Amino acid sequence: MKRMEGKTIFQRFGFYTEEEPTSIYPFSPVYRITHEKDDVIVKKTQRPIERAHRLIEYTTYLRDNGIQVVTPVKLNRHNPQTIDGEIYVVYPYIEGTTYAGKASEIYEAGKFLGRIHSLSPDENVYQLEAYNVYDFTIEEVEESIQNIEKNASKHDFEMDSIQLKEKLIQIVSQQEELQNSGLLNIETPHDFKANNLIYTPEPYLIDPDNAAWIPRIFDLALTLLLFHNELSSAPDNIFTPEQWQLFLKGYKESVHLTDLERSYWEKAIEHVFLDEVMWLLDEAEEDWADSSQRMLFESLIRVLLDASDYMLE
């Protein structure tokens, strides 16, 4: 971001600071500031503004049905707002503790996601963006594998790149089948990761801004693969099989998965790896330099190649 832009954003919401604010999140502008004795968060949300308002209608629906999720703070200015072509929103800052991989936290997280999924209307009532990412190509895979090999070699990371490439190419061939599978779609925040939860002590969702209309088991697979990503207090691997069953125990208190979903579960894991994890291994050079993140990468590749310990039973 350009210097002074943070101050400009603040001023549009009626906040003032002498110094240029520093983002508390390294990958996008997320600012914390005190407003009327309470701390608030200023961050980007969905664009254009019409989509942002539909998102807010959805999160307000969740909140009104007992889900602890941030919704915009009431201000004497419009919230959210369009600023320099981006949409910014002000949320409350939520006090609490971060996830540390405790059994109780995993169970409560599963229970929380299950409640969110169970509240989805049968149709895309809030007109959230519909998932439609099924256009992967073999060329993309080949290019990504080359970059992944380079990242791995810099850090003496042992990996069977031929096996990984063959697996990813196989997954590309499954895209049309998945797209036409008739899997159940739901409205969901679709970024259910530990770094987006604060425990108060019950889990509180602090970043719902990726909400989408998406196959339910894609959202669940994303949680399996990346729940521990980008959080220093989380374990440096994906869920253990025992932790996964604990998460599912909480999740299934509110959700009954269909036979069709169960039959496509492994392909859903593979698809989400292709969509969400491949680029992470490809592009995140700073993550490769982190030994804990490399251990997470190792566990991600392992479950891609053999997900038999992570079934839905």
Reported as half-sphere exposure (CB side, CA atoms, 13 A), residue 237 has a value of: 11
Sequence-distant (6+) residues with CB within 8 A of 115 are 66, 67, 254
- What's the rounded Cα separation, in Å, for the pair 192 and 159? 28
Retrieve residue 163's tokens: 């096996």
Retrieve residue 71's tokens: 């919704």
What phi and psi values does residue 132 have, to the nearest 5 degrees?
-155, 45
Domain ranges of the chain: 5-92, 103-305
- What's the rounded Cα separation, in Å, for the pair 139 and 117? 35
Retrieve residue 109's tokens: 């997280």
Retrieve residue 153's tokens: 């070699």
Q: Are 295 and 245 in contact (CB under 8 A)?
A: no
Write out the DSSP string of 94-119: PPSB-----HHHHHHHHHHHHHHHHT
Residue with tokens 């490809």: 282
Retrieve residue 107's tokens: 């169970």
Classify domain 5-92 at the CATH superfamily level.
Phosphorylase Kinase; domain 1 (3.30.200.20)
**Rg of the chain, C-alpha, whole Å:** 20
Spell out the per-residue pLDDT of the chain, length 313, in tens. Answer: 343 478 889 999 989 888 888 888 877 889 999 988 899 999 999 999 999 999 999 999 999 999 999 999 999 999 999 998 899 999 999 999 999 999 999 999 999 999 999 999 999 999 999 999 999 999 999 999 999 999 999 998 999 999 999 999 999 999 999 999 999 999 999 999 999 999 999 999 999 999 999 999 999 999 999 999 988 999 999 999 999 999 999 999 999 999 999 999 999 999 999 999 999 999 877 889 999 999 999 999 999 999 999 999 8
Q: Are 29 and 43 in contact (CB under 8 A)?
A: yes
Q: Are 214 and 223 in contact (CB under 8 A)?
A: no
86-92 and 185-188 as β-strands: parallel, antiparallel, unpaired? Answer: unpaired
Which class is 103-305 in CATH?
alpha beta
- What's the rounded Cα separation, in Å, for the pair 139 and 172? 10
Helix (H) or strand (E) holding 154: helix 138-154
